[in-house]
């Protein structure tokens, strides 16, 4: 199944996708859009282009597991994606994915503007990898 993940942000939104065998998650793009509706329209177009069968939207949680201040926005975005694509949309805990993406970029010595342009797509990859691991470990493949 082709699954697309979204790391929704109020300025930048990362998109990643996996192959149909759900083995490899890859970064696709970053959408630079502050308006949620416009961002959702662009993300839905990308989902159609990629032939995504399922969409996973990162759910921002605090480190203690309680709802983050932007959780409601992520839920609204997921609802818009479902309405625009007609595809099942799953919310997935994204704790530490952006931090992990920054660490990975540190290891690759990526800094400055280039870093800002890829960190959200890399976070989307990490969200998708976590979700794929869950599917594999629970026999949902």
What's the confidence (pLDDT) of residue 70? Answer: 85
35 in Cβ contact with 80 (< 8 Å): no
SS3 22: coil
User: 123: Cβ–Cβ under 8 A, 6 or more apart, which residues?
Assistant: 7, 14, 58, 94, 97, 98, 100, 101
What's the confidence (pLDDT) of residue 81? Answer: 98
In the chain, the domains with their CATH numbers are 3-137 (3.30.420.140)
What's the confidence (pLDDT) of residue 26? Answer: 95
What's the confidence (pLDDT) of residue 138? Answer: 87
What's the confidence (pLDDT) of residue 100? Answer: 64
Low-confidence ranges of the chain (pLDDT < 50): none
Task: Look up tokens 């069968």; give the residue.
Answer: 53
What's the confidence (pLDDT) of residue 141? Answer: 64
Length of the chain: 141
Round to whole Å and give the CA distance between 12 and 32: 5
């Amino acid at each position: 199944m082709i699954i697309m993940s979204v790391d929704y942000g109020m300025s930048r939104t990362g998109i990643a996708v996996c192959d149909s065998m759900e083995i490899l998650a890859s970064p696709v793009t970053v959408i630079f859009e502050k308006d949620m509706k416009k961002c959702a329209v662009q993300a839905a177009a990308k989902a159609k282009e990629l032939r995504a069968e399922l969409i996973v939207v990162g759910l921002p949680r605090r480190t203690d597991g309680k709802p983050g201040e932007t959780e409601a926005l992520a839920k609204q975005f997921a609802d818009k994606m479902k309405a625009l694509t007609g595809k099942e949309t799953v919310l997935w805990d994204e704790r530490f994915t952006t931090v992990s993406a920054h660490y990975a970029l540190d290891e690759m010595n990526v800094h400055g503007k280039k870093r800002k342009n890829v960190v959200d797509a890399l976070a989307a990859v990490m969200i998708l990898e976590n979700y794929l691991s869950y599917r594999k470990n629970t026999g949902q493949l």
